[in-house]
Amino acid sequence: MAKINFGGVEEEVVTREEFPLEKAREVLKDETIAILGYGVQGPGQALNLKDNGFNVIVGQRKGSKTWDKAVADGWVPGKTLFELEEACEKGTILQFLLSDAGQIAFWPTLKKYLKPGKTLYFSHGFGITYKDQTGIEPPVDVDVILVAPKGSGTSLRRLFLEGKGLNSSFAVHQDASGKAREKVIALGIGVGSGYLFETNFIKEVTSDLTGERGSLMGAIQGLFAAQYDLLRKKGHSPSEAFNETVEEATESLYPLIAENGMDWMYANCSTTAQRGALDWWKKFRDAVAPVFEDLYDSVKTGNEAKITIESNSKSDYREKLEKELDELRESEMWQAGRKVRELRP
């Protein structure tokens, strides 16, 4: 592992320099990696592993849309694509990539295939951390590991095809074989990670749920909506409100942050913009800090897990979810956004 200084804090990370792809292939040369689920993370991880030269099969329900997607992606029924149970039987490393709700439903079946010596792999700490609610508690004679790419499976695949990588965390929950750490790092390299940083299952799910509800998704939508609504109320047109709220952020400013940091983005804006941003950012930080405290406590106590599990277990969950997404999709702000995107040159 390489020691890197992160803003004055030294941290050990794994890069492709000290753990190259060739070493990862050697570590996993005798393993059959079964990807269980072909939804959000499954396609990206499966295809990247396959393209990197690992022995990969996919398990998915026959006749489902995701089965058809797997076929379209080149997985061959009966050779590299199987029903979930058969993939569990054939795999030595079982990458449990069903949704959190799907994992709860399938767990009673999966645990029958966890024979001594097998490896159970997660990309989210949810099932293990909240075992009192999920019922997911693996036997002690299997390795239990985690590689969590910090982004969607779509981004993982896209960056891989561009010759880049998406950073991932990794963790070892159980090391029955004595080789779990070596295996998890090899898998992290194999799925296309940029670099790997170590965590544990509890920290992964706590930071992940906080981020999704916070600055990655929930808070950013709330911020966009508040500013857009204010500008519209004050008489600004939809085009002006959307461009000043979302379009300039995503198309111009956020890429500068990704390129070289917030100060770099500030430096590429007018002195008037810089002055205003420097004067106001701490006010926003202080305003939302109590909300983030409430959010973190809700995650840490398991309340967010409880809400998720109860919601996802209802028979009409998908229907209600679509209605909530429609509320976003059909709002004036995102209708304006659709038109703005159409007008891009």
Task: Report mean pLDDT in 10-residue bins for the chain, 345 residues.
Answer: 87 92 97 96 97 97 94 97 98 96 95 97 96 96 97 94 94 97 97 95 96 96 97 97 97 95 96 96 97 97 94 89 94 96 93
Place of tokens 């277990």: 313
Domains and CATH numbers, the chain: 2-199 (3.40.50.720), 214-342 (no CATH)
Give the residue from 33, 172, 175 showing the smallest Cα distance to 92. 33
Pairing label, strands 2-6, 93-96: unpaired
SS3 state at 167: strand
pLDDT at 266 (0 to 100): 96
- Return the ∠ at Cα 212 (arms to 121 and 124), rounded to 5°: 5
Residue 86: in which H helix or E strand, if any? Answer: helix 84-90
The pairs formed by 309-314 with CB atoms below 8 angstroms and a separation of 24 or more are 309/100, 309/101, 309/104, 309/130, 309/133, 309/134, 312/99, 312/100, 312/101, 313/101, 313/104
What phi and psi, each to the nearest 5 degrees, are found at residue 183? Answer: -65, -45
Please tell me the total number of residues recorded for the chain in this structure: 345
Is residue 192 within 8 A of residue 186, CB to CB? The reply is: no
The answer to whether the CB of 313 falls within 8 A of the CB of 101 is: yes
Place of tokens 């008037």: 272
What was the pLDDT predicted at 109?
Answer: 97
**How many whole angstroms separate alpha carbon 33 and alpha carbon 271?**
54
Based on its alpha-carbon atoms, the radius of gyration of the chain, rounded to whole angstroms, reads 22
CB count within 10 Å of CB 264 equals 12
Q: Find out whether 94 and 121 touch, Cβ atoms under 8 Å.
A: yes
User: pLDDT value at position 300?
Assistant: 95
Q: Can you give the pLDDT at residue 293? A: 98
φ/ψ (deg, to 5) at 181: -65, -45
Nearest alpha carbon to residue 166 among 194, 190, 124: 194
Give the pairing of strands 193-198 and 33-36.
Answer: unpaired
The rounded distance, in Å, linking the Cα atoms of 25 and 273 is 50
Note the pLDDT of residue 4.
87
- 88's CB contacts (< 8 A; 6+ apart) are 34, 36, 59, 94, 109, 110, 112, 113
What is the per-residue pLDDT for 128?
97
Q: Which of 118, 124, 173, 232 is catalytic?
A: 124
What single-letter DSSP state applies at residue 111? G
At residue 345, the pLDDT reads: 87
Q: Are 142 and 119 in contact (CB under 8 A)?
A: yes
For strand 33-36 and strand 93-96, is the pairing parallel, antiparallel, or unpaired? parallel
Token pair listed for 253: 């400013």
As a whole number of angstroms, the distance between CA 102 and CA 126 comes to: 12
User: What is residue 263's predicted lDDT score, i.e. its pLDDT?
Assistant: 95
Which amino acid is it at 99?
S
Q: Is 173 an active-site residue?
A: no
